[in-house]
Copies of this chain bind each other. A is one copy, B any other.
Amino acid sequence: MIVRDKPNAFKLLFILRGSVVTLIFGQIAFFTLLGTAVAAAQYYYPVIFPTFTLSPLALLGVALSLFLGFRNNASYERWWEARKQWGQLVIDARSLSRQVTSYVDESAKGGAELQQRMIYLTIAFSHALRHQLRQSDPWSDIEKYLNPEDIAALRKSQNLPDALLRLMGKKLGTCRHKNLLSDFLIQSIDDNITSMATVQAGCERIQSTPLPFAYMLLVQRTAYLYCLILPFGIVGSMGLITPLFCAIIAYTFFGLDALSEELEEPFGLSANDLPLSAISRGIEINLLEILGVIELPAAIQPVKNRLI
């Protein structure tokens, strides 16, 4: 995620970081060259060169903006829903920790250990979910929060975050059989675990179900066809500034397309993706503070305006 103050109008035109220009440089260059070629051809061979009025392009433009607009909305909604899922995780982690520290009797046998255990597992869950979504290795982040005897079993699991939630459930079940916890408290905590499972499944849904492939084909094919036809339609009225206009139009259409594609998969590491590392570190700091830990890890800061 890009975090920066608004630049002034002049700087704004030349910012590259966080911009999608770098991703679509090829398209812009290609269509600028095409525009140049068409303008040159029309300049030297005006009689035999095929041109036409712009109106048919407007018909195609309506369809193209329909496609781009739809895809952009759908991608942004995926991105924002993903952010909401992680916002829900923050709520669940805080609520579970508050309930555990408020209602479990620290002085009872096993009370303090239960508090620490549940909060540690919650921290581990938030890191494990991030690594699952980014397909990276979670163990350096979570090992310190796990009991050694659990690690072996967890390493075998096909779905680590889900296994961590089940471990929390098991712990609760054990305490229940020992009458350490009342049913009322178990139900409240279990609701939070279910809510974390909902967050996980929601993120998995977004990750495993891209927008239907056919939309991408429809949008991109129409955009390419549109930009291929464009110079022939405008060269008659714009003459030698045709290449400039081709570049601008290619920038707007392919720019929105590239941004939609980035937002469609919001869990990655590209410039406009969600700062999952910062959020899960934030949960870690928050929960360790609740446990009374003094030396807290540092919050993740943006590097060159970018938060990961």
Copy number in this complex?
5
CB-CB nearest in chain B for A84: B205
Contact between B65 and A205 (Cβ–Cβ < 8 Å)? no
Check if A186 is an interface residue, CB within 8 A of chain B: yes
Give the residues in chain B near A62, CB-CB below 8 Å: 61-62, 65
Contact between B74 and A74 (Cβ–Cβ < 8 Å)? no
Which stretch of A39-47, A97-105, A144-152 is in the interface?
A97-105
Interface string of A180-205 (1 = CB under 8 A from B): 00111011101001100110011011
Give the residues in chain B near A91, CB-CB below 8 Å: 194, 197-198, 201
Give the residues in chain B near A50, CB-CB below 8 Å: 239, 241
Chain B proximity of A249: nearest CB distance (Å): 6
**Chain A interface: which size bin?**
35 or more
Known contacts being A98-B193, A183-B184, A212-B272, is A76 close to B70, with CB within 8 Å?
Answer: yes
Give the residues in chain B near A222, CB-CB below 8 Å: 252
List, sorted by A's number, 9 A–B pairs whose CB atoms are closer than 8 Å. Answer: A12-B221, A20-B214, A54-B56, A55-B234, A60-B249, A63-B253, A74-B76, A209-B274, A214-B271
